[in-house]
Each structure stands twice: as structure tokens, then as C-alpha cells.
Amino acid sequence: GAGVSQTPSNKVTEKGKYVELRCDPISGHTALYWYRQSLGQGPEFLIYFQGTGAADDSGLPNDRFFAVRPEGSVSTLKIQRTERGDSAVYLCASSRTGAGANVLTFGAGSRLTVL
């Protein structure tokens, strides 16, 4: 597609539930990134894929968070046993290559609210 697409745009869930957030990157972009952003803060790095593999997952806060990119295109961020502190906007970005100057194109984000 023309841009990075994220679905859903808004998700409200209850504490303890499982959530999946989807990211469809720009066609041909090999690198894909997940960030989360709380109100008034900068984006916080979660995980970065180069192709199908996670090149850096050091930002995932704990083992409730997991992300996949099985075919090197669409990625899904999965959050188990959600907690109220998981509420944030989850941003996905893609770039043409993970090497060199990685200029990111961001999606509009998925706003997650955990009640």
C-alpha cells in the first residue's frame, strides 16, 4: 500500500484479556519496527524486524509481549494478560532497509485502552 496501515485504530479491552495489533508496512520495506507511546512522551522502542526475524527485541517489556512477522511483510504484536499499564498508542513503522540510514515511515497507530 501507499503507507503503513495499522489496525485496529482503537481497541478497548478489559484487564487480563489477550490483544492483537496488526501492522501492514509499505510494500518492499524489509525493516519493521514497533514502538509504544504514552501521552506526552516520546516513542519507546519495543522490537525491530529485518525480514522475518526479530533483529532486536530488547525493548519488549516482559514475556506478555510478543511479535511475529512470518512472511516478512505483515506483523502482529500480541499482548497477553493485558494490564492497565499497557494502555498506550502502539506505533508501527517500516523502512526500506535496516542498514544505512533507516528513515522510518510510521502508521497512525493503534490506541489501546485497558480498563
Partner 1 sequence: SQQGEEDPQALSIQEGENATMNCSYKTSINNLQWYRQNSGRGLVHLILIRSNEREKHSGRLRVTLDTSKKSSSLLITASRAADTASYFCATDARSGSRLTFGEGTQLTVNP
Site for partner 1, rule CB under 8 A? 4, 33, 35, 41-45, 48, 50, 55-56, 59, 91, 93, 97-109
Q: Which is closer to partner 1, CB of 6 or CB of 73?
A: 6
Distance, CA of 62 to CA of 70 (rounded, Å):
21
Q: Minimal distance in Å, beta carbon 95 to partner 1?
A: 9
Report whether 38 contacts 88 (CB < 8 A). yes
Q: Which is closer to partner 1, CB of 14 or CB of 39?
A: 39
Q: Within a 10 A sphere around the Cβ of 41, how many other Cβ atoms? A: 10
Q: Minimal distance in Å, beta carbon 60 to partner 1?
A: 12
Q: Minimal distance in Å, beta carbon 81 to partner 1?
A: 26
Q: Which is closer to partner 1, CB of 43 or CB of 73?
A: 43
Per-residue CA distances from 8 to 28, 30, 100 (Å): 22, 22, 31
The owner of cell 527485541 is 57
Q: Which is closer to partner 1, CB of 80 or CB of 97?
A: 97
Tell me how many degrees the CA angle 48-51-53 measures, rounded to the nearest 5.
Answer: 65
Q: Minimal distance in Å, beta carbon 10 to partner 1?
A: 11
